[in-house]
Structure 1
Amino acid sequence: MSSGISLSQNVQHIIDQVDTNRITTRLQEFAGEVSTTVNGNAQIIINRESNQNDIAKDYLVERLNALPNLNVTTRNYSTRGTNIIATQTGLTNPNDIYIICAHYDTVTNYCIDDNATGTIAVLEIAELLSQQCTDNTIVYAFWDEEEQGLIGARNYAQAAKARNDNIKAVLNLDMIGFDGDGDNDFDIDVRDVANSLAMKDDIVQMLNQYGTNWNLNANVINPGTPLSDHKVFWDENYTALLIGEAWSMNDQNNQYHTTRDRFNNLDLSYCTDIIKLCTAYMATKAGLNYIDSSIQNTGSSLTVTNDPTATYRWIDCSTNLSISGATSHSFTPITDGTYKVSITKSGCTEESDCINFTTLSQNSLKKPIQVSYNQATKDLLVTNTTKAEIQLRLYHVNGQFAHEWIIEKAQENINLKNYSAGIYILQYFVEGQRHILKIQI
């Protein structure tokens, strides 16, 4: 894939795709430390206060819309406030909902720790998990007006309760980038509401299972702080908790809520490790629904497992463009290059990794076989001095198989006048080596 993300992987492989460089770039862009591009224009997002955060909102919406398997909506719950909701519907249990969320509003300029760190963490996890098909539904939520009293999240939580949404858990991320004393402590703020204590246990289990190289230490705070968006889900008796830096140990970022909350105060390694932990939790709870997108290179074609309930689309990785007509589980490239396949099943799409494919042209080998084509008469003349049978295959230019011949004679003429006009690829094998010839009928 152009993004470098591996697909149809287990949880550890997905954790390994968490990209510090991508996180760094987006943190700096979202907090106005560097310029970025929004809606095709160069922009600097210096301020994200609720009454002037339209550029920040468009930044998130644009990047979420670029990801597969997401339904992205903006919900204007008031004249001031807009929540951004990206929903990845589960294939097996679409009504079982896991929410990962952060507030994207601020009180002043920059505010990278509060809460660009949480916002970009949710975006990074969406970047990874949207590439997967999942059993359960994931909601990636970005709340507005947290700083005015948890207004955006409260609007959503109350509406969800009224709809009787089956929200299984809410993971709220708020200020996850500062570790002033370098001890790698972080807080899990939880209360005995619904299954929140069990959710806390699951988070700790993820840390023990996957976090041997993260050097994170969890402080469980019960009763946890009510001063962030998870609180409104507790109010509606939903399972929820907060992950944030270690305020319980007096290691808070004293620059928060000021214009001094800047990039150089962050501990990127610490922030990345917390994102990995949250990725592990969300990937586990979402349930990875495996679509086999592994490509087999047969030497003559690229093939994936044929699933009659799936659709296929082959893509040239150098351009990231679909190859016209290449919609089968098998594809025969006509030029050297890197290719991938996009597989859609039950409304969910996964892409394979890119794979190199090298053709071997006829003229690059000196072999005792000659194939010539007379376009005027549509005759294909095959001369074979090997005394072995020759297998010829004809493909449409898009890789679709057309016909196969077995040549046993020393010379054989094949007339192609019954084939529709167009470019075709003739492929044949001599002593295990593949040769190709492009012809126009």
Structure 2
Amino acid sequence: MKQDLNQRNKLSTFFCLYLAQAVPMSFFTTALQVTMREQRFSLSAIALLQLVKLPWILKMLWSPLVDRACTTMRGYKRLIVGSELVYALLVFLAGTLNLQLNVATVILLVLLSLVASATQDIATDALAIRSTKGRERGLMNSMQSMGSFAGSLVGSGLLLVVLHRYGWNSVTQCLSLFVLVAALPLLFNKKISLQQDEDKRQRARLTDFVWFFGQRGVWRQILFLALYYMGIIGIMSNMKPYMVDLGYSMKDIGLINGVVGVTSAFAVGYPTGMLVRRYGYARVRPAVACAMLGATLLFTILSVSVPTTVQIVLATVLLWASYGMATVVVYTSAMSHVRPGKEGTDFTVQTVLTHLTGIVAAMGSGAVADVAGYTAMFAVQTAIALASLAYVSLALKKETTHD
């Protein structure tokens, strides 16, 4: 009973940390665009918001510094809580400014705040790896997945509604307080401990994010990360334009895609973590690949004619649910491919790879849809999903989960 309570406390602690990352990121990249457009900012000014995503792409450059700084439990807590303090302060400062008069300064503060958030993410991922082992990591990664999707719901859904009532300054300042509160469970949790022997760890070097690619056999993992959910990412990036062309309003698109879809991804996080804990990610991986193939195939079939709303909702639920399951599998696999002393670096490199391939998938699928239409685009994404299933079922068949 006591062990179960300690595990629940650990999982809830990490859920809070991942939620603290996701809510402001989602809010700034979604709600801020709406606010600026309502205040008649130019589209070129709004386009500058894309810069705030840079820290989460470039964070692997300073991830070895985090590994070097964090060698003890105290070191992890100090860096994570310190990053949260900086994060909260910068968000608070952004909330004190008049958005219409100080847009460039606001964007700069948001950019710097997400540098602090990305640093917290590196340390949190490394601590999650070092405080767990084997199949326990499936549940840990369900917290990461659920925290991310819950953050999207709050940041781009709930806060968008609140924003219209209370305004930019009040909402953003409250958001800074939320960031601080989310760090308290880690600060007061005395039961989290490091599982790995410090004597067997090597001190991270500043170039270790490069040497990750020089490991023997690592390209099998890299191909897996690049291919696994590329098929559904291509569809997800084109869902909103597709629904617009079907005649859906922005309100309907927000409800179906942003609420129902994201909730579906959130809901499958914990059950998938339980499956990974029981069977291992290597056994669960092909089943999730089948679900993603089913989602892409369903969209291909539906796009041949005009789908009903019920069909669109069901297809969206399957798409987001398969994505939610896939994130747990990908994160757990990434945790199993890290070097001692370089946990934050190696995990960060792998997650950045998924982000970059996601960008490629989004751009490529958009180009195909523009030239050949949605049905052709969905068919291409189905072929990619089929290739992913074949790869994990055949090429990675002998790979076993690290227990």
Common fold: TM-score over 0.5? no
Q: Which has the larger strand fraction? A: 1
What TM-score results when the alignment is normalised by the length of structure 2?
A: 0.27
With CA pairs under 8 Å and 6+ residues apart, which has the higher RCO, 1 or 2?
A: 2
What TM-score results when the alignment is normalised by the length of structure 1?
A: 0.25
